[in-house]
Amino acid sequence: MTNSKHTNGGVSLPLNQILSGDCIEVMDALPENSVDLIFADPPYNLQLKGELHRPDNSKVDAVDDHWDQFDSFKVYDDFSRDWLRAARRILKPNGAIWVIGSYHNIFRVGACLQDAGYWIMNDVIWRKSNPMPNFRGMRLTNAHETMIWATKDEKSKPTFNYEALKALNDGVQMRSDWVLPICNGHERLKDAEGNKAHPTQKPESLLHRVLVGSTNVGDVVLDPFFGTGTTGAVAKKLGRNFIGIEREEAYREVAARRIKDTRKFDNESLQVSTSKRAAPRVPFGQLVERGMLNPGEKLYALNGRHTAKVRADGTLIGNDCKGSIHQVGAALEGAPSCNGWTYWGFRKEGKTMPIDLLREQIRAEMGA
Amino acid sequence: MTNSKHTNGGVSLPLNQILSGDCIEVMDALPENSVDLIFADPPYNLQLKGELHRPDNSKVDAVDDHWDQFDSFKVYDDFSRDWLRAARRILKPNGAIWVIGSYHNIFRVGACLQDAGYWIMNDVIWRKSNPMPNFRGMRLTNAHETMIWATKDEKSKPTFNYEALKALNDGVQMRSDWVLPICNGHERLKDAEGNKAHPTQKPESLLHRVLVGSTNVGDVVLDPFFGTGTTGAVAKKLGRNFIGIEREEAYREVAARRIKDTRKFDNESLQVSTSKRAAPRVPFGQLVERGMLNPGEKLYALNGRHTAKVRADGTLIGNDCKGSIHQVGAALEGAPSCNGWTYWGFRKEGKTMPIDLLREQIRAEMGA
DNA sequence: CACAACGGTGAATCAGGAG
DNA sequence: TCTCCTGATTCACCGTTGT
């Protein structure tokens, strides 16, 4: 793991380190367009308790008899706007952010996020399998937290490892609700007296899914509210680089020790399933050039409804139409579009086989 | 059921009627402090762009109605502020509101709600058991919607039928995530041509739970975006009074007919049936996310004939094959299929134990 | 009559590259 | 920036038709 500076477009990043200080100031000192992903678990409580500062860095005296809800929302919104702005500047154009919160703050953070120009991809519900019950029976058990996954702007193309997430979910598309247990047991960090080291330590399973789904090996993941370093620990395990920012020295120390004791998984295990989109493009004409199909040969729609004839240039000629395998398939079906690779078949020894088999054969040779 | 005016503190209410017009104007004409509960399903401002087709080329019938179009976030926020203010005025001091939305609008609505002085009790996740998938594989399946339950102000003591909800949930405290199917089948209202009468009809089961949990028999429930009248129909069944407000005549007509055909449950049966829960599905990937198995760890076929290695996305890599626990097991055995849960084991303290034990462990936690 | 096969559909910010 | 083309992509459930 790189611990020194890392060159990124001519600028260097402090990789795999925990930076000390106010996250807004620290982020403002980092180069713009340099980070792949941000994971943020900002303070939830609106009663501030001296942990928040106004934009001018003056401290908010929240423990005050004249405490006022409206003022408090405004201060929290200002704070959210500021750190979201700083975060957005350092994100790469195709970068993304995850923010987690509860009903106390998530609506405000979400609105600030949209106002700042971020583009929401999904909101994701972490459904806790073992939440704390509501002891007084005055409300519903607060059994979930909300995460927002957003890109830097509307045009961003974020990393999304669709097939890997699908694999994590037994082969069906990952949904926007994730059932995972809260952090306790051995994973929960304690101090010498046995008190929990941090009040809101997130489970590694949650970060595992976030990082597998929206980063690749070697990416840079920044966490502006690092706490006890769950983001850093999971990033290290998964072969991602992290940058942590944390104001409290006690948390930094716990996080540093934790990450030092964390081991990276071996490279082979970090390979994940990929989608067909990543496979090299094979033009249909190549099947003809290579003699896998011959000009004049007949293709059969796999649904049995149509046939077409192969021409020397890799186009097809069907009933009153000609063009690519896709165009002819679409025309014959009267459909807006058609994937010719999965639509057409060829005859071999009396059986009809999809032409996609031939493409896979070529791809296998290319990969070899 | 009362259809005439209803005396409430010397003022009268138009009970069990569907009022025509803009909801803000209509609410402003109602007496203040007169309504027990408001359920609101405002436009989501979906901002859809082009057309969307399923993989089979059929077209998705999207929400493109004029009432869901807003020019900007600011226009939407102004709208939200206005109707939330009007709604708050007519609420009784201990009254409450439920608002439902998706990530497109819920953060803005939630922030407006807090700014207007409402006090959030819970946010509640409606987890759809049968959501529409993400057809292009570009995001997570949008499998939930968010509801906010809030009181008129911080000091309100809202109706909360804790025991009734607990009973609805097999005797354990109701959580903030509700698993319910979307509205389809016979419940879905259609016009003469078989088209859906309203693009976003909510399931009665959702309203049932809201009204059982936060109103009493005889209470007044107002819905400012009445649509096809799900709120009114469920209120009538449950012996609550409703007031509906709807701008579109077509929706009012459908709702009126629907409610006319709805019968109130007899008082005894206002208790409800509970749904049996099947054993929850646990994806193998969750064992990896949760650290019960680590990427790179070896699995052993319980018959002793093969081994394979775990990857970060919950797939296995065996001798010349990779895929799910089931696929790799089948490939190595040369079998058409294989139950990976009972085929594979992991080593612990020198002993090989079936991975199914880990799944059972997770299920035990979930059930608790 | 039972069961299988098939078709339809749901609040969706749903592609990416070459020219 | 815009147009055109290739070709990747779906889950649970309900209702109807067919065996």
Protein-covered nucleotides on strand C (Cβ within 7 A): 8-16
Strands B11-14 and A321-323, bridge-based pairing: unpaired
**What digits encode the pLDDT tens for the residues B300-344?**
999 999 999 999 999 999 998 999 999 999 999 998 889 999 999
Which chain B residue has its CA at the smallest distance from A183's CA? B290
The whole-model pTM stands at 0.93
On whether the CB atoms of residues B107 and B48 are closer than 8 A, the answer is no
| B175 CB and strand D closer than 7 A | no
Is the Cβ atom of B141 within 7 Å of strand D at any atom? yes
C1'-nearest nucleotide to the CA of A340: D7
What the block records as the tokens of A131 is 């939440």
What's B283-332 look like in SS3?
A: CCHHHHHCCCCCCCCEEEECCCCCEEEECCCCCEEECCEEECHHHHHHHH
Mean pLDDT of A260-264: 98
Average pLDDT over residues B150-160: 97
CA distance B3 to B98: 24
Average pLDDT, chain B: 92
- The Å distance, CA of B246 to C1' of D13, is 30
- pLDDT score of A367 more than 90: no
Cα–Cα distances in angstroms (integers) from residue A250 to residues A226, A228, A256, A257, B142, in the given order: 12, 9, 10, 11, 39
Interchain CB distance below 8 Å, A270 and B165: no
Q: Report if CB A275 to strand D is under 7 Å.
A: yes
Q: How confident is the model at residue A4 (pLDDT cuts 50, 70, 90)?
A: very low
End-to-end CA distance of chain A: 30
Proportion of chain B above pLDDT 90, given as a percent = 84
| Tens digit of each residue's pLDDT (9 = 90 or more) over B197-254 | 999 999 999 999 999 999 999 999 999 999 999 999 999 999 999 999 999 999 999 9
What's the pLDDT tens digit per position in B200-213?
999 999 999 999 99
Contact A123 B113 (CB under 8 A): no
Does nucleic acid strand D have an atom less than 7 angstroms from the CB of A340? yes
3-class SS of residue A252: helix
Residue written as tokens 């792949």? Answer: A36
* pLDDT-based confidence at residue A55 (cuts at 50, 70, 90): very low
